[in-house]
Amino acid sequence: MQLRKVVLAMTVFIFMLSCNNDDGPGFDLIPPRLLSEVVVEDAAALQAYLETHFYNYEDFENPPANFDFQVQLDTIAGANSDKRPLIQDVQSLTLEVSSEDFELEDNETVAHTLYYLIARQGQGGSPTSADSTYIRYQGSLLNGNLFDGTSDYTWQYLPFFLRGYSQAISNFRVGDAIVENPDGTTEITNGGVGVMFLPSGLAYFNGSSNGIPPYSPLIFTISTGLYIPDTDYDGDGIPSIMEDLNGDGDVTNDNTDVDRERAIRSPAFPNHLDPDDDEDGILTRDEIIIDDQGNISFPDDDNDGIPNYLDRDS
């Protein structure tokens, strides 16, 4: 799966490709569509898909010998015409999406609903949307075309991936142990297994790459194996999820010192990737206190309500 930053770069690139300057120095731009328009189409497409498809729930209920515990999706038709539609099995999650998330200038904030289905709940802990997680996945379009996938588990720092994807995964639990097989290979036991269905506004929206046309709702079947609790990606002592200052579950849109970073022409690092969150030259790690039990406290020397690590004045 493409990283989010790559996606944005691709979006800009494709936007540039779509510019037509045959008429001289001017550009005929093909403007991106509105989130509020596409979300309605995506919701209808997802609804139709969930009503006309089923997953191999019978295998999960009564696992046959050597069952691989992978979700298989199929159409309700013919010999399968009496199967239970996915719409009866899914859970949903609604997130606000801003046009700024895709660097669009429409000033929209639009609610988007994603669906997920836990075919087997893992027996281990549950990652947050900002934890590194050991995942196996397959990505496909609603027409069944596979565009990406891994045959084995791979580590993913969830904030680098699609917002809908990382949010859905935070509802899954991981496995409970790693066991060694007689042949020396290792295996994760009792991991999570499921599938998610994302509207394009929680995926690539107008971006496209690698077999994914613009405005595509996406399906990911996933297995969740392990995760690193309290992942602290920038190593500043604060778990990434605690750097989600606006509490929307998305750590990519919290950047305390963005103005300062712009002023000094530094790349803008959101707090979860920034070891000095206020750009005052003192590392965040040196502006917080972590006790022997690992509890973090945030001193505020000038009592202005802004903790030192976010305050350039203290």
Closest to Ca ion by CB, 89 or 236? 236
User: Residue 117: CB partners within 8 Å, gap ≥ 6?
Assistant: 55, 71, 86, 89, 90, 91, 194, 195, 196
The HSE-up count of residue 253 (CA atoms within 13 Å, CB side) is: 14
Closest to Ca ion by CB, 131 or 274? 274
The C-alpha torsion from 246 through 247 and 250 to 253, rounded to 10°, is 0
Shortest spacing between CB 35 and Ca ion, in angstroms: 18
Q: What is the DSSP letter of 32?
A: P
Q: Are 254 and 269 in contact (CB under 8 A)?
A: no
Closest to Ca ion by CB, 128 or 255? 255
Closest to Ca ion by CB, 140 or 271? 271
Closest to Ca ion by CB, 47 or 253? 253
Shortest spacing between CB 168 and Ca ion, in angstroms: 17
Tokens of 51: 């009503």
Beta carbons within 10 angstroms of residue 157's beta carbon: 18
Exposed / middle / buried, residue 26 (Cβ in 10 Å: 0-12, 13-18, 19+):
exposed
Shortest spacing between CB 300 and Ca ion, in angstroms: 10
Closest to Ca ion by CB, 11 or 255? 255
Shortest spacing between CB 204 and Ca ion, in angstroms: 20
Q: Residue 235 carries which side chain, given as an amino acid letter?
A: G
Q: Give the interface with Ca ion as residue ranges (CB under 5 A).
A: 234, 236, 244, 246, 248, 250, 253-255, 257, 269, 271, 274, 277-278, 280, 308, 311
Q: Are 138 and 221 in contact (CB under 8 A)?
A: yes
Closest to Ca ion by CB, 42 or 257? 257
Shortest spacing between CB 211 and Ca ion, in angstroms: 30
Q: Are 231 and 157 in contact (CB under 8 A)?
A: yes
CA distance 116 to 95: 13
**Distance, CA of 222 to chain centre:** 13
Pick from 120, 115, 149, 121: nearest CA to 135: 149
Closest to Ca ion by CB, 101 or 311? 311
Closest to Ca ion by CB, 140 or 240? 240
Across the strands, what pairs with 224? 135, 192
Shortest spacing between CB 209 and Ca ion, in angstroms: 25
Shortest spacing between CB 197 and Ca ion, in angstroms: 23
Determine the residue with CB nearest Ca ion.
274
Shortest spacing between CB 50 and Ca ion, in angstroms: 29
Query: Distances from the Cα of 99 to the Cαs of 33, 147, 150, 201, in angstroms?
Result: 10, 25, 31, 9
Shortest spacing between CB 259 and Ca ion, in angstroms: 10
